[in-house]
């Protein structure tokens, strides 16, 4: 098991460094810079002085090495759009709304999706199966900004049950959480249905039924446990993807989260903030997949045995 973890960790580190190089090169490949544009014209001498002060006049390879050296020391620099605070301070402040709303969306949507998938699998080819499958398909195919707009139209404009946008009070969180919960609910409904149908067709289920075990005991003690492996392993990557903020959801509901700063960092060529956000998301995804691989190996020892054989 230790060799398995070391192998996955090394693979994660290589992936992180490759992604950091790609992000850095693509970021600087976009035409323009932090001091270009008609909204903030600067004389050439002042612009050159600022570029030298920020190290932007250096070769790209030197800029990359200097930045990554700071990253190793947890120094992500100072954002150009907010010089009075550090990049980490700004991210820590902006991450709270994204983490709260996105996290609650996953924690609410995933169990609902599992229940829908179980109901569909246990009532295959019935109206329950068709309804659950239709809900899952709609949740995965309709863009999140369309879902967000429909939620505002129905619950805020027509019914006047909730505020249309904002962050402050908890009642303003309802619609964003519903929007965030759509994808986890749909994803888990499809995974749960597929996994349970696959497990129900296994020979051991037929043997258990032949032994006279009740259907309830077979489902909850054997089928559900064996079907849980793929559902457990997708939880962390999905949580990271949603809890790091959605550009569309946060823009529509006017939530001051990471998504808004991600857009502004690209528009304003705020290299330290843009790079830090991309590295944060990449690192969280790498760690989530590492933990998922370890969990999968613990739940399914054949994965480890296969690794030894290779």
- Statement: residue 157 has pLDDT above 90: yes
Q: Is the domain of 68 the same as that of 185?
A: no
Q: Which of 106, 182, 172 is nearest to 150 (CA)?
A: 182
Q: Is the domain of 68 the same as that of 136?
A: no
186 CB neighbour count, 10 Å cutoff? 24
Contact present, 237 and 288 (Cβ < 8 Å):
yes
Per the domain annotation, does 254 fall within a domain? yes
Per the domain annotation, does 261 fall within a domain? yes
Q: Is the domain of 63 the same as that of 143?
A: no
Q: Is the domain of 197 the same as that of 51?
A: no
Q: Is the domain of 30 the same as that of 158?
A: no
CA–CA gap between residue 12 and residue 16 (Å, rounded): 6
Buried b (16+ CB within 10 A) or exposed e, 164-174: bbebeeeebbb
Q: Which of 90, 83, 74 is nearest to 54 (CA)?
A: 83
CA–CA gap between residue 171 and residue 173 (Å, rounded): 5
Contact present, 276 and 91 (Cβ < 8 Å):
yes
Rg (alpha carbons) of the chain, rounded to whole number: 24
Domain CATH code at residue 237: 1.10.3720.10
Q: Which residues contact 155 (CB under 8 A, 6 or more apart)?
A: 161, 162, 174, 175
Structure-token match 């995804």, residue found: 285
**Cα angle value 212/213/216 (rounded, 5°):** 140
Per the domain annotation, does 9 fall within a domain? no
Q: Is the domain of 22 the same as that of 125?
A: no
309 CB neighbour count, 10 Å cutoff? 6
Q: Is the domain of 288 the same as that of 245?
A: yes
Give me the sign of the Cα torsion angle 88, 93, 95, 96.
positive
Per the domain annotation, does 85 fall within a domain? no
Per the domain annotation, does 31 fall within a domain? yes
Q: Examine the fold and report which residue of 40, 72, 104 is the final residue of a domain before the chain moves on.
A: 72
What is the rounded average pLDDT of the residues 275-302? Answer: 82
Mean pLDDT computed over every residue of the chain:
86
CA–CA gap between residue 33 and residue 261 (Å, rounded): 17
Contact present, 25 and 63 (Cβ < 8 Å):
no
Q: Which of 78, 82, 102 is nearest to 177 (CA)?
A: 102
- Who wins on pLDDT, 209 or 81? 209
Tokens of 263: 């857009």
What residue numbers bound the domain in which 28 lies?
A: 15-72
Q: Is the domain of 64 the same as that of 101?
A: no
CA–CA gap between residue 212 and residue 230 (Å, rounded): 28
- Statement: residue 300 has pLDDT above 70: no
Per the domain annotation, does 80 fall within a domain? no
- Statement: residue 301 has pLDDT above 70: no
- Burial class (CB within 10 angstroms; exposed 0-12, middle 13-18, buried 19+) of 181: buried
Q: Is the domain of 171 the same as that of 300?
A: yes
Q: Is the domain of 153 the same as that of 60?
A: no
Per the domain annotation, does 90 fall within a domain? no
- Burial class (CB within 10 angstroms; exposed 0-12, middle 13-18, buried 19+) of 94: buried
What pLDDT score was predicted for residue 304? 54
- Burial class (CB within 10 angstroms; exposed 0-12, middle 13-18, buried 19+) of 303: middle
Confidence category of residue 310, pLDDT binned at 50, 70, 90:
very low
Q: Is the domain of 49 the same as that of 108?
A: no
**What are the tens digits of pLDDT across the range 219-278?**
888 888 888 877 877 888 888 888 776 788 888 898 888 888 888 888 888 899 999 999
**What are the tens digits of pLDDT across the range 86-95?**
999 999 888 8
What is the tally of structural domains in the chain?
2
What is the rounded average pLDDT of the residues 63-86? Answer: 88
Per the domain annotation, does 1 fall within a domain? no
Q: Is the domain of 62 the same as that of 161?
A: no
């Amino acid at each position: 098991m230790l060799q398995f973890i070391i192998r996955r960790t090394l693979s994660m580190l290589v992936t992180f460094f490759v992604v950091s190089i790609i992000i850095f090169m693509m970021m600087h490949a976009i035409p323009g810079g932090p001091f270009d544009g008609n909204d903030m014209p600067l004389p050439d001498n002042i612009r050159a002085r600022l570029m030298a002060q920020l190290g932007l006049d250096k070769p790209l390879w030197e800029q990359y090495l200097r930045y990554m050296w700071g990253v190793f020391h947890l120094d992500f620099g100072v954002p150009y759009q907010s010089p009075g605070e550090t990049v980490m301070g700004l991210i820590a402040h902006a991450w709270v709304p994204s983490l709260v709303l996105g996290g609650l969306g996953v924690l609410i949507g995933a169990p609902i999706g599992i229940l829908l998938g179980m109901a569909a699998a246990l009532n295959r080819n019935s109206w329950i199966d068709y309804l659950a499958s239709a809900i899952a398909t709609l949740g995965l195919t309709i863009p999140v900004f369309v879902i967000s707009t429909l939620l505002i139209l129905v619950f805020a404009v027509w019914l006047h049950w909730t505020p249309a946008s904002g962050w402050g009070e908890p009642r303003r969180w309802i619609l964003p959480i519903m929007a965030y919960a759509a994808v986890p609910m749909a994803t888990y409904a499809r995974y749960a249905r597929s996994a349970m149908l696959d497990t129900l067709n296994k020979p051991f289920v037929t043997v258990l039924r032949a032994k006279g075990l009740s259907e309830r005991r077979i489902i909850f003690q054997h089928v559900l446990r064996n079907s849980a492996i793929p559902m457990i392993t997708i939880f962390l990557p999905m949580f990271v993807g949603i809890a790091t903020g959605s550009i569309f959801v946060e823009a529509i509901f006017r939530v001051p989260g990471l998504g808004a700063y991600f857009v502004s960092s690209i528009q304003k060529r705020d290299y330290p903030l843009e790079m830090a956000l991309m590295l944060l998301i990449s690192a969280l995804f790498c760690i989530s997949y590492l933990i998922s691989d370890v969990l999968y190996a613990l739940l399914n020892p054949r994965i480890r045995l296969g690794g030894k054989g290779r």
